[in-house]
Homo-oligomer: A and B are copies of this chain.
Amino acid sequence: MVPVTDVELAEYFASRGRRVDDALDRYLPPESVSPSIIHRAMRYAVSAGGKHLRPILLLAGTEVCGGAPDPALPAACAVELIHTYSLIHDDLPAMDDSPTRRGRPTCHVVFGDAIAVLAGDALHALAFSLLLRSSDGVSPARTLAVCQEIAQAIGTAGMVGGQVLDVLAERRPSLLSDAILDPPTELVREIHLRKTAALIRAALRAGALLAGADEILLAALGGYGERVGLAYQIVDDILDVEGDALTLGKQVGRDAAAGKITYPAAYGIDRSRAIAAQLTADAIDIVDALGPRARILKDLARSLLERDR
């Protein structure tokens, strides 16, 4: 195991990102396997040059808790596949109807809507296949706990529920009456917590579980993940208003044009920035209690706040 406290953040990100890339290439079925088109579509969406934030946070969670990164690679790749499946489905004409993502045409634009729906479904199933792999030194009971952590985070109480609220807020706000999510500041927080923060929190807790972390560590990493996840989405919202399309690799201003509910829309830019900064400070405080080994998580939180893409 690399002593992460001695590694610069950029190096850490690059080296763990490479391991994730290599592992994804091993785990995804080759394009030569029939039916080729679905494997091409899956690989196209996965290799779209994402930051691999979620798998790297999972690996960091494991390493901070004393685990080695390699046994956590299947789980790390699984959360990337889940994130990718959700992006493919979110981008569909039936949902956000996004023509580009990370500077390239979206999956359904290249492969058609039917194959895009199925590529998302296939990545979802493959993610669970990877999560279920027993890793060296990880008991079956612990592997089940890791799978359950992720499964809970991506259902209607988590990621899918957030996407539902997002769709309703944009198109059918009358159906939100059941949700007691007024004012909009409460609603946007709930959407981001479920849609973005739930999986990031689960990734950190999954990493900790794989390393055999106790309840105190699990709670710390979960609390950190929730705050970093929420801050991450707020920064995303801000970049959609103020960011540079070329740097971001996607159109800006799409949220406002679509009438999406965002932090800048609900709070204004300055307060949104202050909230993201406070969440980041809180996240850093939580893991500060873990001592020097948590440095990588603190550096990560800061860099996610200050990013321009």
Is there contact, CB below 8 Å, between B122 and A94?
Answer: no
- Residues of chain B lying within 8 A (CB to CB) of residue A32: 178
Any B CB within 8 A of the CB of A167: yes
Q: By the criterion CB–CB under 8 Å, are A35 and B161 in contact?
A: yes
**A179 at interface by CB-CB < 8 Å:** yes
Q: A128-B151, A141-B140 are in contact. Are A94 and B114 (CB under 8 A)?
A: yes
Are A168 and B37 touching (Cβ within 8 A)?
yes
- This chain's copy number in the assembly: 2
Contact B151 A144 (CB under 8 A): no
Question: A155 contacts B125, CB within 8 Å?
Answer: yes
Tell me the bound Cα distance from A36 to B161 in angstroms: 10
Interface size of A by Cβ–Cβ distance < 8 Å? Answer: 60
Q: A282 vs B235: C-alpha distance in the bound complex, in angstroms?
A: 61
Contact A125 B144 (CB under 8 A): no
Decide: A175 near B37, CB < 8 A? Known: A114-B167, A163-B118.
yes
Name A residues whose Cβ lies closer than 8 Å to a Cβ of B: 29, 32-39, 42, 85-86, 89, 92-95, 113-118, 120-122, 124-126, 128-129, 132, 134, 139-141, 143-144, 147-148, 151-152, 154-157, 160-161, 163-165, 167-168, 171, 175-176, 178-181
7 contacts between A and B (CB under 8 A): A29-B156, A36-B179, A85-B121, A118-B164, A120-B121, A121-B124, A132-B151
